[in-house]
Structures are given as C-alpha cells and as structure tokens.
Amino acid sequence: MTTMAILVSLCFHVHPANSTDCDDTDGNVYPGAPETCSDKDYNCDGMITGTTSPTLWYQDADYDGYRNPSVTLLSCTPPSGYVSNNSDCNDNNFNVNPGAPEVCDNLDNNCNGMVDEGLMTGTAVFTFGAMNNSWSEPMNWSTMQVPAPCFDVIIPTPYNVVATGSGITAKSIMIQGGASLTFTGGTSTIQGGATFGINNYGTLNITNNSNIIIQNTGNGIDNHANIQCTGVNSITITQVTQNAIQNFSGAIFMDNGTTGLTLFNITGDGISNSGSLTKNGILSGSNINGDLIFNTGTFTNGGNIDFQNGTNFPQWVIHNQGTFNNNTGAYILFPTPSTGGNVSNMGILNTAGSTMNNNGIMNLFGNSISGSGTFYNNGVINGGL
C-alpha cells in the first residue's frame, strides 16, 4: 500500500478597501462622509468645513431633564444622558430640579435657594382637647387641626396617643417622658426634620402591620427610653445625614414580632446601639457610610441581617464594643467584597473587652473578622473566619 501525502497550500490575502480613513475610532469620520458639524474633519479632506457649531451638553445623571453643570460634552447632536439646559442644583436626586414642586423634606426641591418655602409650617402639641387619645381628631391639637406634613409634633406628658391607619404625617415627632405614641396599621410618613425624625423619651409602640417611613432628616430615630414592636411591621429610613437608629444607653428597643428594618443612603451608622436592642425581623440596607451596626451595649439578632452592595459601603458591617448575640435560627449575610460598589472586606470588628456569641449562621463571603474581643462560635460560619 502506498501512502500519499498531499500538501495543499491555501493563501488568503486581506486587502483593505482603502487606507485613507483619518480617524478609524469614529464611525462618522471617513472619506466622503457628510460634514455639517464644525467640530472636526469628517470627510478626511484636511479641512473643517461644517457650518453647524457644536452645542455644549450637560450630563443629566438623575434623568429629570435638568443638567449637572460640572460634566459637559461638545456635540452637534444630543448625546444620550445629556441635556442642553444647565440649571439642576442636585443631579443625584430626581425630585430636585427647577421644575419640581417644593415639598416638606428639608431640601431645596425647586433650586431657588430656599428650603420648604411656601409650605404651612409650625408646631402641633397634643392637648387632649376632644377628651380622647386619637391622633386623627383635630380638637386634640393645639393648632385645632390634625398635624400637616411640615409640622413638628410634640406628645407631652401624660398623654397616650394612638395613630390608626394611613395618612399620618409630620416633619418630626417628639415623645416626652411619661407619654406614649402607638402606631397601629397603615403607612405613616415623617420627613424633613433637621435634627431627627422621631425622638422618644417615653414609649413608642409599633403594632398591627404598621409601615413607618422616615426620610430626609438628621437622625432617623433617637430612642432614650422604650420602643416596642409587636406583630409584623416595617420601618424604612432613608436619606439621613446622621444615624438611622440611635438607641441610647439605658434605652430598650424590643422587636417582639417580626419588624423589617430597611436602611439606605445613610451618612452615619445604620444602627448605633448603646442600650439593649433586640430585632427578630429582617435588617437590610445599602449605601451606609458609617458602620451598619455599631454596638456598645447589648445587641441581639433573632432574625436575618442582609446587607447589600451599593455605591457606598460601611466602615464595618458589625463593629462590636459590647455584647453581640446571633441567636439560634438567625443568620447574617455579609456583602461580597469587590462586587459592585463594595470593595471592602471589613466584616466584623470585635474590639478588646467585647463579646460576640454566634449560635446561628454567618455567611462571610470573604469578609474578615478582626479584633481581640471574645468570640464564641456554637453555630455555623461560612466563607472563612
């Protein structure tokens, strides 16, 4: 048998159609291209002959139709995400632009240099004028009307006020020692308080599927005394310039049910606890500049903590200088480092003299546990120790 090897040579030659493109990075530039804009040589003849002058466009990051004056682009056609006007005073907030209505949120919504102008403002003090404890009774207030959205509210000693159903609004709420406020059902909105949303020196009860929204304030909730949550509820705190929840020394924040806490866009800490704080619902959040949890008291997690990646990441997810308990059946889900905006692996800082007891589940995902405090692990830790 004769074996024959046949070598076939195939030669391919690539010839460019031409070599006269003067800018091969721009699909609009080539010999023979129409040249109407005067910003560059589009047809590669060595001359700029366009008669239309390029326009200065401004980035519109929040897509409200108004620009960011610091980010510009010259073009004869409007680039995607850019607009021609230059009058937005906050290009990170869709609700802030020259055409926006002014609302009670401690912000200059319409970019005229004033905050909350044209709104009815004042202070409403509960007086028991109608001889009942209803928030919704106009005769119970010093203003002889139910508090308007831009009113600071004071619940004085010894009154016990009940806010039932949706439509409860205030700029801020102060509960004095010996007084109480009970939210029972519906959605209540507190926004625009310069120093705090709710400042409690008495008793705050949150029950019966209540949904509390606190936004655009200093601290979200300042608790000096007693907060009790019963049943299934939710508390959302966003756009605060200090801490979302500040639980002071000697104060008690007790979740007897399953209250969901959602915290995002927080300049300070998510929760700063110096007292006793027990949560059994879900704590979720993102874009927190301080610690997600800063604890110098006793913090007990009986539910779930699920912190998400965001544009900003916390200094530490848990910064413990007291006693932190992760109970049986509870879990803590740490964010994944180097994913999205979160490039930190600062999971737990357990400082000298502090104690952390894990009887539940911790999914670290590569986050670190640091510090010389005592760490008792009787549960499950995934992703390293």
Structure tokens that stand for 227 in this block: 């907060």
In order along its 385 residues, the chain shows pLDDT tens digits of: 334 343 433 333 344 555 678 887 777 788 888 887 777 788 888 888 777 777 777 776 656 666 566 677 777 777 776 766 666 676 567 677 777 777 777 777 777 777 777 667 899 999 998 999 999 999 999 999 999 999 999 999 999 999 998 789 999 999 999 999 999 999 999 998 989 999 999 999 999 999 999 999 999 999 999 999 999 999 999 999 999 999 999 999 999 989 999 999 999 999 999 999 999 999 998 889 999 999 999 999 999 998 876 666 678 999 999 999 999 999 999 877 655 554 567 889 999 999 999 999 999 887 889 999 999 999 999 985 4
The angle subtended at Cα 322 by Cα 320 and Cα 327, nearest 5°, is: 80
* pLDDT at residue 76, as a whole number: 77
**Burial per residue of 272-286, b for 16 or more beta-carbon CB atoms within 10 angstroms, e otherwise:** bbbbbbbbbbebbbb
User: Alpha-carbon dihedral of residues 265, 213, 180, 268, nearest 10 degrees?
Assistant: 0
How far apart are the C-alpha atoms of 292 and 308, rounded to whole Å?
A: 11
**Single-letter residue type at 86:** N
Note the pLDDT of residue 254: 97
Q: Tell me what pLDDT residue 65 has.
A: 62
Looking up tokens 């999205």, which residue turns up?
Answer: 340
Residue 126 is given by DSSP the state B
**pLDDT for the residue 2:** 38
Q: What does pTM read for this prediction? A: 0.76
Distance between CA atoms of 97 and 266, rounded to whole angstroms? 22
